[in-house]
A = this chain, B = another copy of it.
Amino acid sequence: MTHNIAILGASGYTGAELVRLIAGHPSMRIAALSAERKAGRPMGEVFAHLAHLDLPDLVRIEEIDFAGIDLCFAALPHGLSQAIVRDLPRGLKVVDLGADFRLRDPLAYEKWYGKAHAAPDLQREAVYGLTEFYRADIAGARLVAGTGCNAATVQYALRPLIEGGLIDLDRIICDLKNGATGAGRALKEHMLFSERFSDVAGYAQGGTHRHLAEFDQEFSALAGRKVEIIFNPHLVPINRGILADCYVEGEAEAIHAALAARYADEPFIHVLPFGQTPGTGQVTGSNLCLIGVIGDRVSGRAMVTATLDNLAKGSSGQALQNANLMLGLDETTGLKGAPLFP
């Protein structure tokens, strides 16, 4: 059986990554692709690397006949999804890749995104898409909210430690190194090649990045108390990849053991031997998340490093994994490709 898929917002990088992944999926077929400003153009013109595929042209959302669609991915700019998803047919399964449905609390949404949510009912209904921790809910969900790419990376590193009471909750520092595709395809001066090629610099630091809303929601729920982490991302001149270095206070070997135990049966999350940390180059293009733990000469301190490809496991790969679950398929279908290196 083939499932018909629509991708809304297909002219961005996560949209293109969905097309790449679904092109290799044995039981999905791309039936519709939307993009507002680029509607009317062939997908292969907007993304030349996909020109060899047999794909529908880009259309406006209102041109899509959703009657024949089994599942819809929404890879839209933040803030646009809520109204669009609200107006989709009620029976349609939806995986949203943006930020619109990640927060369960309307007040938290308003605080971090600066305006009231347009679809609070859906906000409550949406299941948070961190597959390995919400698997059963996702399988039964109509609407799944993809996590932030940074949010996924850091949660893989820290959730089992918070849950297990293994680290000091008041002293969690997460320093991230982020590839440029995380900023999307929007035109911004500081994202020009010439500006980024030889620069490493922070952005949205000091407790201002919106993914903090997800950390607050998830970690506080896990801990049963308010948890606020320190989280500072940086732009590094690579395209894909997040390296999340999480500095914690706790026993390094116990931390490693807890992570290794938690992820032993996970198909995509792998914990390296104690004392090794991964690099972004080990996951490019794959749905893997690699985690390493090291101690320090200062006792009681550890660093947990997690890495994943922000466009794959951090976004479109996660979305496809969730879509597989929602459609009753093996969740690894179409996602087993090994990383590209070098």
Contacts and interface: CB of A to CB of B under 8 A. Distances in A.
B285 A285 contact: yes
Q: For chain A, give the interface size range.
A: 35 or more
A148 interface: no
A49 B341 contact: yes
Contacts of A284: 49, 198, 340
A195 B195 contact: no
A40 interface: no
Given A200-B280, A201-B279, A53 B338 contact: yes
A52 to B, nearest CB: 5
Nearest to A171: B171
B200 A192 contact: no
Interface stretch (A81-89, A92-100, A151-159, A239-247): A239-247
B202 A305 contact: yes
Given A52-B288, A171-B171, A205-B294, A338 B236 contact: no
A317 to B, nearest CB: 12
Contacts of A296: 206-207, 230
Given A202-B245, A238-B237, A275-B206, A185 B194 contact: yes
A214 interface: no
A297 interface: yes
Contacts of A239: 193-194, 197-198, 342
Nearest to A283: B49
Contacts of A247: 173, 175, 230, 247
Given A197-B238, A198-B198, A198-B341, 17 more contacts: A16-B341, A24-B336, A51-B272, A180-B193, A187-B188, A197-B197, A197-B239, A198-B280, A198-B281, A201-B279, A201-B280, A206-B275, A207-B298, A212-B297, A228-B297, A236-B237, A340-B340
26 contacts: A16-B341, A20-B341, A23-B336, A24-B338, A49-B283, A49-B286, A49-B338, A49-B339, A171-B171, A175-B247, A177-B177, A180-B193, A187-B187, A191-B192, A191-B193, A199-B241, A200-B279, A201-B243, A205-B277, A206-B296, A206-B303, A208-B297, A232-B303, A236-B237, A237-B237, A237-B238
Pick the 8 closest A-B CB pairs, nearest first. A201-B279, A207-B297, A199-B281, A194-B342, A187-B187, A49-B341, A193-B196, A49-B339
Interface of A: 13, 16, 19-20, 23-24, 47-53, 171, 173, 175, 177, 180-181, 183, 185, 187-189, 191-202, 205-208, 212, 228, 230, 232, 234, 236-241, 243, 245, 247, 270, 272, 275, 277-286, 288, 290, 294-298, 301, 303, 305, 336-342
